[in-house]
Amino acid sequence: MGNHHHYLHTLKVKSLGIDTYYENIVFLRSDCHICRSEGFTALTRLVVHHKEKKIIATLDVVHSDLLRMDEAALSDVALKRLGVVDGDLITISHLKPIESLSDVRAKMYHKKIDEAAYYRIINDITNGLYSDIEIAAFIAGCAGDNLDLDEITWLAKAMIDSGEKLKWNGKIIMDKHSVGGLPGNRTTPIVVAIIAASGLTIPKISSRAITSPAGTADTMETMTKVNLSIEKIKEVVNKEGGCFAWGRLARLSPADDIIITIEKALDVDSAGQMIASVLSKKAAAGSTHIVIEIPFGETAKVRTHDEALKLQYYFNAVGDAIKLKVDVLITDGSQPVGRGIGPSLEAMDVLSVLRNQEDAPKDLKEKSLKIVGALFELSGKMENGKGILEARHILESGEAYEKFKNICLAQGGFREPTFAKFKVEIKSENAGTVTVIDNRKLAKIAKLAGAPQSPSAGLYFSSPIGTKVEVGQTLFTIYSESEGELQYAVDYLESVNPIIKIV
């Protein structure tokens, strides 16, 4: 009887070439024997088995002849995880209730959950047991001020233990992170180049943009290869002292990558989760000494100085709990840093600073030097106040640019970033002095123009606070790879209040 029942639940795999990113999806006909006999409906969570392997997938129901009665289609990621190809046989069964979801529900009702609960949740997310909706529920449960210091620490520890951990030879492994929310602000490539040129180790594993027009990985990808395996990361760092890698291939804190993907769709960035996310990534990458930059301003991610101070306290306390040396710099977040907003345009800023060009953005240069100075001093290599002088010497002597190029070559080559082919200059309608800039709306224009998906899209910003402008003077230039997207950005611009206040 058992075998007969097993046979009834067997279907042939069909590949339809459907990309669902991280989520496993199984497609069945609504009138196939399994859906009918089990009463399965769309969005039911099922277990799909092939030989010894099994995955959990969400059901999408097909009401057409896309599939035959005896076929099941799987999304690309599900095919890969299950290791099946067209024609392989799979069996489908009910999913038992996932126990850790009761912890998620408790969190949604603002209850404090214990360390074991965070381990259960992160483990289940890593193992693909949660659907996107369930992960979104966990994110919502953690948003606002819903995680206390213990919980942020437990979440960070659970994330560190969810994936690979890198080990390095040195005692001091440097890293830096900006909590973001400021367009431009691409200090990382400059910081890594100076630190590595000084002989210290900085294996920089960066993310792509979550809610911004560019992440460090997006910017670096316009100049070199960033999709590096763990082996390649080790090879580059051992040779050059630093790297610019995208974190996803390395499988460091993989639960974090899954959570970030959903946060991006929700456009939510919860403070407690962000702290756990950042520090878990750093610890998993083997870092020991980390400088965190928190820009604050009315239209930055962190709005007030009080909020920045609270984050500073949490970063230090959680860092302490997971044995990381952390220094937090609170910086001015009232306007973009550098002039480019979008991957290629930010890369151009980075290169102009590293090449010591006359017209390089001074704010980007000075902020990068400040971060390197703090790292030098945190490492104990230099006494307070001396770090920034050494950083300036390494940058202005050309050593940092030399090191930057060598890291790029070790990763797979170097190329110059380029401008998108369509552009429009946005000119001032009145004369006066720039007093206020809306960072969020500037970032939104860059995204509407196509950044970061179109690497050369974005905007070039030429009117920082304090600039005296005449009527008809260019405030910024929008770049796009398609005329349609350029028009979107211009339409949005015309529909909102002035993004740049001139009085």
Residue 188 near residue 176, CB atoms below 8 Å: yes
Strand 202-206 and strand 174-178: the pairing is unpaired
Active site residue: 269, 327, 349, 438, which one?
269
Minimal CA–CA distance to 414: which of 207, 225, 197, 215? 225
Peptide bond into 452 cis (omega under 30): yes
- Tell me the residue ranges of DSSP E strands in 418-480: 422-427, 432-437, 458-461, 468-469, 474-480
Q: How many CB atoms lie within 10 A of CB 401?
A: 20
Half-sphere exposure of 10 (CA within 13 A, CB side): 12
What is the distance of C-alpha 345 from the center of its chain? 19
The C-alpha atoms of residue 322 and residue 277 are separated, in whole angstroms, by: 13
Q: Which residues pair with 332 in a beta bridge?
A: 296
Q: Tokens 């991957």 correspond to what residue? A: 343
Phi, psi values for residue 111, rounded to 5°? -90, 150
What is the DSSP-derived secondary structure letter of residue 184? Answer: B
269 among known catalytic residues: yes
The C-alpha atoms of residue 408 and residue 395 are separated, in whole angstroms, by: 17
Active site residues: 269
